[in-house]
Amino acid sequence: MTVKLTNQKAWFLVAPVVVLVAFNAVIPLMTVVNYSVQESFGNNIFFWEGVKWFEEVLHSERFAASLMRQIFFTSVILLIEIPFGVAIALSMPRKGPWVSVCLVLMALPLLIPWNVVGAMWNIFSLPDIGLLGKALNSLGIGYDYTQEPISAWFTVILMDVWHWTSLVVLLAFAGLSSIPEAYYHAAKIDGASPWAIVRYIELPKMKRVLIIAFLLRFMDSFMIYTEPFVLTGGGPGNATTFLSIDLVKVALGQFDLGPAGAISLIYFLIILLTCWLFYTLTMKDEAQ
Amino acid sequence: MSKINLRELKHSYLENPSRDEDWALKGMDIEWSDGGAYALLGPSGCGKTTLLNIISGLLVPSHGRVLFGDEDVTDTPPERRNIAQVFQFPVVYDTMTVYDNLAFPLRNRGVPDKEIDPRVREIAQMLDLEEMLLSKAAGLTADAKQKISLGRGLIRSDVNAILFDEPLTVIDPHLKWILRSKLKEIHRQVGSTMIYVTHDQTEAMTFADQVVVMHEGMVVQVGTPIELFEKPQHTFVGHFIGSPGMNVLPCEFDSGVPRFAGHSIETASTSRPAAGYSRLEFGVRPEFVSFCPDGIPVEIVKVNDVGRYRIVDTRAGDARIQILVPEGESVSLGRAQVQFDPAHTQIYADGWIVAEASS
Amino acid sequence: MTRRYKWLLPAFYIVFLMLPIYWLLNMSFKTTNEILGSFTLWPKNFTLENYTTIFTDPTWYNGYIDSLTYVGINTAISVTVALPAAYAFSRYRFLGDKHLFFWLLTNRMAPPAVFALPFLQLYSEVGLFDTHIAVALAHALFNIPLAVWILEGFMSGVPKELDETAYVDGYSFWRFFIKIFIPAIIAGIGVAAFFCFMFSWVELLLAKTLTSVEAKPIAAVMTRTASTSGYELGLLAAAGSLTIIPGAFVIYFVRNYIAKGFALGRV
């Protein structure tokens, strides 16, 4: 490892980034903080409200409900996507022409605009003319995601698995490709079973990428907005109203700036804290 | 344990090798006797790792057979060959302790725990790993990891051979010689065949009883370090081994007498090359060139003092001749005359030695 | 699972990935009557009418141009400013460097929904509302941290001796940076640009909030169509199918870097 030089002039190099990000992050965040502690009656007249909005939000059933839905959604998709993605990466060919084919086809969903993903699944799942909806109904399963909360949840989760499992696959695959050939040779000579190779070589070597995969999937699924919004609009009723959908309703729909500000900050903090906790806990092992 | 026999071995990584360059191994017959310490020496890309992987079973050769004793193992997978291999970069199972790492090959073969335990402790003692048996393998230094890799090979009492693929590449220089003498010691204790791949002649010479020198997919010489030094079978061996390498000088024949720069040369062997070779040379190591009053005239262009002796760089026409001169002898730039020791001067035709055996 | 049947899982997964895409394409070649009137696995009355509409109606094709414009601007801005910053992080230690790096990354963790309203007000205030630059700048908040992180990884893989040799040879910083250093990490720039493109192209919430007429992204045009003109599913499907093309192109060109880019030399 090379030792870095101390050079305060390096600040000139980071200055453009700092200015741009500060303009984009600090000013809006200050606005949010401002709203969260004030009451407004329009005309830009504000009154100091202290932590009233925070108390209100934390005690509101509506916020609790969308938070619970959010946690449930995120847990389910993590439980499906991470093992599923790892399994696919493990069974993919490691070299040869099929690798490119697999990677290109698998990466495709990642580059489709999120609302198109929603619209696509909308069309795909329609009970009367969508392939999935029609298939399920003809199997005798009463499926209608526009009316039935369980169908709606099923569709939203399946859509997310469709949309994002590839990210886990690509990360896990990158981790696998970086394992030196010698490990496989040594394992062969040691007489290790295929399962032992997965358990003692591949999974440990994938640990770091899997942590990144877990963090990215946690963050992005916790922030999910567009896809379920286009697919179900948060319904039926409020069945699939996740945190972001609820927040946009409060902020841009009802223009309740105070509660919106408070929700925003709590929301942001939850993500930051979870990421930080998870990262510190998993990396503590590494340091030993 | 048994001797290893390679018969008419050829290998290519291409599906349909057509040209000579397509072959990574161009055909060889070698026998490795049981319990020997061998070194496979050659520059990178000469095919030595390919050869090693064929012996361990990671590669199936395109042509030829591999025999362990009388058994043909050419198509036997590595785990059933009873071979151990230590790789260039240490391979340890990060999540396991050192103990579990050592026990791993035995557990995979269904050996009962009560037999594993004494064996693990014995090997750990042999490799000085006893104190770290219970620590995680991940955090250890490169040399400890390399010892674990070696230990996983030694743990099985039935190994036919232990193969080393440049095992000291990532080890700190000051630990290299410790590990090397450890290897020597273990070879004496265990007595199994060891094949050590390296591109470093010092490593090869200190470790091995027999050195196999490879060049462009061919074995050019098998011999003891002294044989390689005194009688290189190929000019490549002469260049590659020794520091500085052998002087290889062009010569021509005048009624059966080799001549260089107008002087006739005496050689160790009286056999002469048949007609039809494009390149005729003779080789003599710098150690066996000396100054003498009525020899071949040369121009001394440079004198390098390298401690116990000096390397004298001279020119005879276009040819460059290096001479090793012991300390104390005076050398000055300018004209001089040299002679070659006939007992250590050999004729080479197209690179290969012309000697009794081949005539 | 035995080795022989291993390929089944990825194959099954790819089929699963392709099904909704197939259905979208299928719909895009059908007439409205066929879509609403019957359930057919492939178009019975194959028509290109939906695509013709999109390529002739300016509200539709301008949507594509607008989207690609702000995605392009965003990628250019993000990579350009991230380059020197990543260099600073990979080569020097300076006051507050670690905190700054962490702060940059926290922005990647901010939900776009949190920023939708303040961005709307901020950009209206500075007169950038409904311009390409507004969307490009807003997306830069999420892309710059990522670009800095990716580029830093690649730059750390370039030996420091390269810099030192160039300075000894009398190169000025910027000349060295542009002539020698950038070519050395060109693969990293490709990967960073790919990720910037990806996020900016797929994000809709901010893009929709910050535009109304002039710079409306194609994605937003689609949403409006879906809600105003009732059930023009064929048209919607055709528009959706067309949005897959730029992504597919980009993936094809960077396919050999995808795995490496994810690894970032940090694995």
CB of A251 within 8 A of CB of C117? yes
Closest-CA residue of chain C to A107: C251
**Contact list, B153 vs chain A (CB under 8 Å):** 189
**Contact list, A102 vs chain C (CB under 8 Å):** 10, 14
B178 and B53 in a single domain? The answer is yes
Distance CA C62, CA C77 (A): 22
Bridge partners (DSSP) listed for residue B83: B161
Distance from CA of A62 to the nearest CA of C (A): 17
Is A129–C39 a contact, with Cβ atoms under 8 angstroms apart?
yes
Q: Could you tell me the sign of the dihedral formed by the alpha carbons of C89, C90, C92, C96, in that order?
A: positive
Distance from CA of A99 to the nearest CA of C (A): 10
Nearest to A184 by CA among C77, B89, B125, B183: B89
State which of B204, B235, B266 marks the end of a domain.
Answer: B235
| Chains with at least 3 CB pairs less than 8 angstroms from chain B | A
pTM: 0.80
B44 and B146 in a single domain? The answer is yes
Residue of A12, A13, A231 for testing the chain C interface, max C β-carbons within 10 Å: A13
Is C21–A175 a contact, with Cβ atoms under 8 angstroms apart?
no
CATH number for the domain running over A68-258: 1.10.3720.10
Name which of A182, A190, A193 is nearest B105 (Cβ-Cβ). A190
Is A162–C243 a contact, with Cβ atoms under 8 angstroms apart?
no
Closest-CA residue of chain A to B153: A190
Each residue's pLDDT tens digit, B9-19: 888 888 887 78
**Contact list, A182 vs chain B (CB under 8 Å):** 87-89, 91
Nearest to A285 by CA among B148, B138, B145: B138
B275 and B215 in a single domain? The answer is no
Bridge partners (DSSP) listed for residue B315: B299, B320
**Contact list, C111 vs chain A (CB under 8 Å):** 222-223, 225, 243-244, 247, 264, 267-268, 271
CB of B291 within 8 A of CB of B336? yes
State which of B235, B264, B293 marks the end of a domain.
Answer: B235
CB of C246 within 8 A of CB of A143? no
| Chains with at least 3 CB pairs less than 8 angstroms from chain A | B, C
**Domain positions in chain C:** 1-47, 57-263
B280 and B190 in a single domain? The answer is no
Each residue's pLDDT tens digit, B244-255: 889 998 888 887
Q: What is the dihedral of CA A207, A212, A216, A217, to 10 degrees?
A: -10
**Contact list, A247 vs chain C (CB under 8 Å):** 111, 113-114
Residue holding tokens 């990671």?
B58
In a domain, B242, yes or no: no
Nearest to A245 by CA among A228, A261, A231: A228
**Contact list, A192 vs chain B (CB under 8 Å):** 104, 108
**Which positions in chain B have a beta carbon within 8 angstroms of at least one beta carbon in chain A?**
53, 56, 58, 77-79, 83-85, 87-89, 91, 93-96, 104-105, 108-109, 136, 139, 149, 152-153
B193 and B261 in a single domain? The answer is no
Name which of C3, C36, C204 is nearest A226 (Cβ-Cβ). C204
Return per-residue pLDDT of chain A as tens, 288 residues.
446 778 878 888 888 888 888 888 888 888 888 777 777 665 566 666 667 777 777 778 888 888 899 999 999 999 999 999 999 999 888 777 788 888 888 989 988 888 889 888 988 888 888 888 888 888 878 788 888 888 899 999 999 999 999 989 988 888 888 788 889 888 988 888 888 999 899 988 888 788 888 888 998 898 888 888 888 887 787 888 888 888 888 877 777 777 888 888 888 888 888 888 887 887 666 544
In a domain, B135, yes or no: yes
CATH number of the domain at B16, please.
Answer: 3.40.50.300
Domain boundaries, position B337: 247-358
**Which positions in chain A have a beta carbon within 8 angstroms of at least one beta carbon in chain B?**
180, 182-183, 185-186, 188-193, 196, 200-201, 204-205, 288
Q: C77 — contact with chain A (CB < 8 Å)?
A: yes
Burial per residue of B49-69, b for 16 or more beta-carbon CB atoms within 10 angstroms, e otherwise: bbbbbbbbbbbebbebebbbe
B144 and B36 in a single domain? The answer is yes
Distance from CA of C81 to the nearest CA of A (A): 6
State which of B201, B235, B269 marks the end of a domain.
Answer: B235
Nearest to A117 by CA among C243, C112, C69: C243
Name which of C8, C141, C266 is nearest A24 (Cβ-Cβ). C141
Average pLDDT for B114-127 = 89
Distance CA B308, CA C168 (A): 39
Nearest to A285 by CA among B95, C15, B184: B95
Q: A95 — contact with chain C (CB < 8 Å)?
A: no
Residue B345, φ and ψ in degrees, nearest 5: -115, 125
SS (H, E, C) chain C: CCHHHCCHHHHHHHHHHHHHHHHHHHHHCCCHHHHHHCCCCCCCCCCCHHHHHHHHCHHHHHHHHHHHHHHHHHHHHHHHHHHHHHHHHHHEECCCHHHHHHHHHHHHCCCHHHHHHHHHHHHHHCCCCCCHHHHHHHHHHHHHHHHHHHHHHHHHCCCCHHHHHHHHCCCCHHHHHHHHHHHHCHHHHHHHHHHHHHHHHHCCHHHHHCCCCCCCCHHHHHHHHHHHCCCCHHHHHHHHHHHHHHHHHHHHHHHHHHHHHHHCCCC
CATH number of the domain at B329, please.
Answer: 2.40.50.140
**Contact list, B140 vs chain A (CB under 8 Å):** none
**Contact list, B77 vs chain A (CB under 8 Å):** 188
Q: How many domains does chain B have?
A: 2
Q: A193 — contact with chain C (CB < 8 Å)?
A: no
Residue holding tokens 């003599």?
B284
Closest-CA residue of chain B to A185: B58
* ipTM score for this prediction: 0.84
Using CA atoms, how far residue B266 sits from B253, B290, B319, in Å, is 12, 14, 18
Closest-CA residue of chain B to A184: B91
B284 or A36, which is more confident: B284
Distance from CA of B7 to the nearest CA of A (A): 23
Using CA atoms, how far residue A36 sits from A28, A32, A284, C124, in Å, is 12, 6, 36, 21
Please list the alpha-helical segments (H only) found in chain A: 10-36, 52-59, 61-91, 97-107, 114-125, 131-138, 149-177, 181-189, 194-197, 203-222, 226-232, 243-248, 257-287
B100 and B150 in a single domain? The answer is yes
SS (H, E, C) A210-258: HHHHHHHHHHHHHCCCHHHHHHHCCCCCCCCCCHHHHHHHHHHHCCCHH
In a domain, B215, yes or no: yes
pLDDT of residue C230: 52
Each residue's pLDDT tens digit, A253-284: 777 777 888 888 888 888 888 888 887 887 66
Q: How does strand B23-32 pair with strand B4-12?
A: antiparallel
Q: C16 — contact with chain A (CB < 8 Å)?
A: yes
Mean pLDDT of chain B: 86
A141 Cβ contact list (under 8 Å, min separation 6): none
C250 Cβ contact list (under 8 Å, min separation 6): A111, C194, C197, C198
pLDDT at position B159 over 60: yes
Give me the residues of A, 143-172, that contact C with CB < 8 A.
162, 165-166, 169-171
B86 and B197 in a single domain? The answer is yes
CATH superfamily entry for domain C57-263: MetI-like (1.10.3720.10)
**Domain positions in chain A:** 68-258
The CA-to-CA distance between both ends of chain B, in Å, stands at 37
B190 and B53 in a single domain? The answer is yes
B312 and B276 in a single domain? The answer is yes
3-class secondary structure, B160: coil
B100 Cβ contact list (under 8 Å, min separation 6): B93
pLDDT of residue A75: 95
pLDDT of residue A42: 59
B344 and B319 in a single domain? The answer is yes
B224 and B252 in a single domain? The answer is no
B227 or A128, which is more confident: B227
Nearest to C190 by CA among C247, C142, C257, C264: C257
Q: C23 — contact with chain A (CB < 8 Å)?
A: yes
Is C104–A2 a contact, with Cβ atoms under 8 angstroms apart?
no
Return per-residue pLDDT of chain C as tens, 267 residues.
456 778 889 999 999 999 999 998 888 888 877 777 777 788 887 888 888 888 888 878 888 888 889 999 999 999 999 999 999 988 888 888 888 888 888 888 888 888 888 888 888 888 888 888 888 988 988 899 888 888 888 888 788 888 888 888 888 888 888 888 888 888 788 888 888 888 888 888 888 888 877 777 777 777 666 555 556 788 888 888 888 888 888 888 877 776 565 555 443
The tokens describing B211, both together, are 């050195």
Nearest to A14 by CA among C160, C73, C89, C173: C89
From the number of C-beta atoms within 10 Å of its C-beta (0-12, 13-18, 19+), residue A174 rates as: buried
